[in-house]
Structure 1
Amino acid sequence: MSDREFGGTDDLSLPKATVSKIITEILATDTHGGIAFARDTRDLLIECCVEFITMISSEANEIAEKEAKKTIACEHVQQALEQLGFGDYVKDILEVASDHKKMQVHREKKQSKMEQSGLSEAELLRQQEELFRSATDKFNQGPQED
């Protein structure tokens, strides 16, 4: 399915830097060090990634619509992968989804602590700098004699 078939004329390509980073990381863990991708091969890989994401997204959307859901859930993506013959990837993808969910909860906790303070980011930064200054002053003064 091309982006024209998907119903849009927008450029649906992934950022080349993102795919390049993924390729570099894969090659770094590969035992065949020194191998590089030709530019046209890298471009083909980018197109394959876009096509794969488009295909899975479209299938997951159809599954969600059949269930009268307005939001595509992880289960819909799982079903899409299975229906399109990518069932072998489901276990790994569910692990990635679980890890992502845990990271999101951690980020939300951090953000909510900052929000709970009621202070602006600039004020929190000012307070942090003051605490560092105070700690540095105490350290530089050395031990206090009674």
Structure 2
Amino acid sequence: MSDHEGHGGAAPGTDDDLSLPKATVAKMIAELLPNDVACAKETRDLVIECCVEFIHLISSEANEICEQESKKTIAPEHIIAALKRLGFETFTEEVEDVLKDHKQQVKEREKKVGKLEASGLTEEELLRQQEELFAASRAKFQSTQQ
């Protein structure tokens, strides 16, 4: 099996371009390790390679599940099914919790947008009102400073 089989038909050479932000991974590793333990650069790079390979594995399996269901978009349910099919059942509860939190955040964001639209004001009118409130606040602050 070549390095590129099972990766959704990616063109040879494209896997080398895939990575994770090194600084972010280094920070995560540092947070997980005791204060008196350091992580070598080579170790961090190996962790990144393992994470990228894991992502390839899960996404390839999720893609197969998606195709079997005649779907064109990989949904969260496909990822969860891929985790289970590949023997990572222990991850599914945490993934489902994160998905639930994400959906809640999206709902809250949509409510905020709904309130904006429900105001019946244009963006220019809202900006004008905001500037007026800022000006009134500055004036009140300046009067208390004197």
Fold similarity call, TM over 0.5:
yes
Alignment pair present for 1:118 and 2:126: no
- Report the TM-score when normalising by structure 1: 0.77
Match of 2:88 in 1: 86
| SS of match in other structure, 2:18 | coil
Distance 2:53 2:136 in 1: 56
What is the Cα-based RMSD across aligned positions, in Å? 2.6
* Cα displacement (A) at 1:33: 1.7
Identity of aligned residues (%): 55
Structure 2: state its 5+ residue gaps. Answer: none
Distance 1:106 1:14, change over 3 A: same
* Cα displacement (A) at 1:25: 3.0
- Report the TM-score when normalising by structure 2: 0.77
Residue among 53, 56, 76 paired with 2:55: 53
Larger mean CA deviation between 110-119 and 32-41 belongs to 110-119
Distance 1:36 1:127, change over 3 A: farther
Distance 2:116 2:32 in 1: 37
Distance 1:118 1:25, change over 3 A: farther
* Cα displacement (A) at 1:133: 1.9
Match of 2:27 in 1: 21
Structure 1: state its 5+ residue gaps. Answer: none
* Cα displacement (A) at 1:57: 0.3
